[in-house]
Each structure stands twice: as C-alpha cells, then as structure tokens.
Amino acid sequence: MTVSSDLDRRFRAAASTLELVDVSYDVLETEIGPLLAAVTDHGLAFLSFDAHADERLESLATFAGSRVLRTTRGVELVRRELDEYFGGRRTIFDLSLDLRGLPQFTVSVLGELAKVPYGRTATYRDLAERVGNPKASRAVGTVMNRNRIPIILPCHRIVGTSGSLVGYAGGLELKEKLLRLEGAIL
Amino acid sequence: MTAVATSVPIFEVFYDEHKHEVLGYLRKRAGADRADDLFQETFLRALRAYDRLQHADHLRAWVLTIASRVLIDAFRRDGTPTSELPELESPEPDSPLESISDLTASLPPKERAAVTLRYGFDLDYAQIAAVLCSTEDAARQATSSGVRRLRKERSSR
C-alpha cells in the first residue's frame, strides 16, 4: 500500500497548522542551489548548503524536540526572505533565530557578526576585538566555519586582514558571489 | 525492563517507516474511501504523544494500536455494533506485548488499549490520553478499571 503524495502533503500541512511540529524543515530551491532550512518555534535554527544534511536534524532534536517533520509551510518565511535577498530586494533579514545549544562565546561572536551590514566586510580580528578578546581571531574563524545559519548570519562578510576571502563552508566561489551580489566587491 | 532502550528517532523517520503499512491496515478494515481521513487522524494522534515517548521499542505495534483506536472511534460514531469492532492489532510474535495482548483479550476496547499502552509500551497517562483522545484522568481510570477487571476475572476462575 502506497501513501499518495496528496495524502502525504495533507498530513504534513495538518501537522503544521495544528502546531504539533517541533522542527519544520524543507529543501529550498534558490539561486545558489538547494538549501536545507530547519525552523523551530524559536526561529530559524539551521541552514545548510548540503541538502542531505539529515543527520544534522537529529542534533536539533536534542534541544528542540523529536517531532521533526518536513513541511512546506513551516519554512515559508525563510523561503520568501531568501528569494528577496537573492533578487537584490532585501538587505536585512527579519527572521528570528534559534541559537540554543551553542556555547556562550559562539553566541556573542554571532551576535557581533549579525551587526556587520549588507555590502560591507569585517576581518576576523575586528570581530575578536568587538567581543572583547582581540587575540581570539582563530577562535572566531572556527565559529565562522561552524556557523549553522550562513547567509542570514553573514559569515561571508568576514575576510582576512589583507582582504583575502580566506574560506567558506559553501566554497570560496560562493563567498565571492554573495559579496558581489551585495556590492561589497566589484 | 528491557536491557537497552533504543532512542526515539525523529518523527520524519518514524512516519516514513510506518505510513504505508498503517494506510494498508486502515484500508483493509475501513475501505479506501474512509482510510485517508483515518490515516491522518492516526498520525496526528501519534504526533501529539510523540515528544513524550521514552524509548523506541515497539513503535510499529504502538502506531497500529493507535490506528485501531481511530477505527473503533470512527465505527462508534457511525453506530456500528461493538461485536463488529475490529480486534486490536496483535503485535509482533514473541514480544513481551504478546502476553499482554492475550491477557487483555476479554477487556472492553478502551480498557484493553489503556492497559496495553500502560504496561506493554510503558507510556504514561498523558501519552495514553493522546492515543485515546481523552483526558489524563480518563486514561488513568480506564487503566485501573481494566486492571481491576482482570484481577476479578482471575480470582473467579
């Protein structure tokens, strides 16, 4: 017996409408390829360049709850804001974020990262100074590298002291593309 | 007590693993026309109780028990006589549930479901209430009156 895609869709929509889901996720088709987005009742918790990052959903369940379900509705707002961003019609995201489960240092670095404006860049050392720990550039680099909500938390805007792009989870080419989109580089 | 309890998978994995069998079970007993609504009701009830599951043992039998409760409730609404109500799904052979299933065969459906969920699945009353679509108090009452009835039967044998 096979569950039709229509029945499947109706169940997922009902679960979402009745607010019985702890983590809603879906794969979003975007300008830069498929992105996996996961949303809890606290906000966007996870955005991945790897559309098959299912095992990462298990780790969200440890703090958000085991009712993890793929639904279109739950990630609708993320889909819309990303569309606008890639279309050049959005420079600030209005999404609330779920940073539960992250260490305090990571949260404060990400807090400073969020303040780096659209179309601008900052260095790893800038961020380290802004969290009051000028020698922590390397640790800041690690936080950028593990950033679980890229694009929205704009780690692509963080570059080396010499202005070199250094690295990016989605690949240097993508980092360059995002900075170009924002007009930060020509 | 089981030696090692397996951890509860995310709901997506659980749903994906059991959805086809649950639909088949419901179609066989309620017909293709009604099965879709009952399918939805079954997994919504499972979802309501899911975050309180302590372990992943017997998840298949658990969801089939929910499906059988959903069927019974639907037949009740239509006024189908109790004698024609479907049997609770008997769980996989050799599981500790099998004996509970035999033991409770004489109970009225609601008490049987409550006793099975409490002692076969280790669910608490809040979880049982979600399965039975009733209150926690009603779930506790159904369980204890089921147990009382079983004791009585045993002593009169």
- pLDDT for B104-123, tens place per residue? 888 888 888 888 888 877 78
A154 closest CA partner among A90, A87, A104: A90
Which residues of chain B neighbour A63 with C-beta distances below 8 Å? none
Residues A63-116 have pLDDT tens digits of 999 999 999 988 999 999 999 999 999 999 999 999 999 999 999 999 999 999
Per-residue pLDDT at B2: 41
Count of CB atoms situated within 10 Å of the CB of B5: 12
Pairing of strands A158-159, A122-123: parallel
Q: In chain A, whose CA is at the least distance from the CA of B42?
A: A11
Q: Mark yes or no for CB contact A1/B24 under 8 Å.
A: yes
Residues A148-169 have pLDDT tens digits of 999 999 999 999 988 788 888 8
Decide: A44 and A96 in contact? Cβ < 8 Å: yes
Q: Mark yes or no for CB contact A15/B9 under 8 Å.
A: no
A126 closest CA partner among A91, A157, A149: A157
Q: Mark yes or no for CB contact A68/B20 under 8 Å.
A: no
Q: From the centroid of its chain, how far is CA B72? A: 11
Q: What is the mean pLDDT of chain A?
A: 93
Q: In chain B, whose CA is at the least distance from the CA of A10?
A: B40
Helices (H), chain B: 11-30, 32-50, 59-78, 96-103, 109-115, 125-132, 136-156
CA distances from A114 to A21, A64, A147, A153, B153 (A): 28, 23, 12, 5, 68
Count of CB atoms situated within 10 Å of the CB of A8: 17
**By CB neighbour count within 10 A (0-12 exposed, 13-18 middle, 19+ buried), where does A174 fall?**
middle
pTM above 0.80, yes or no: yes
Pairing of strands A68-70, A33-40: unpaired
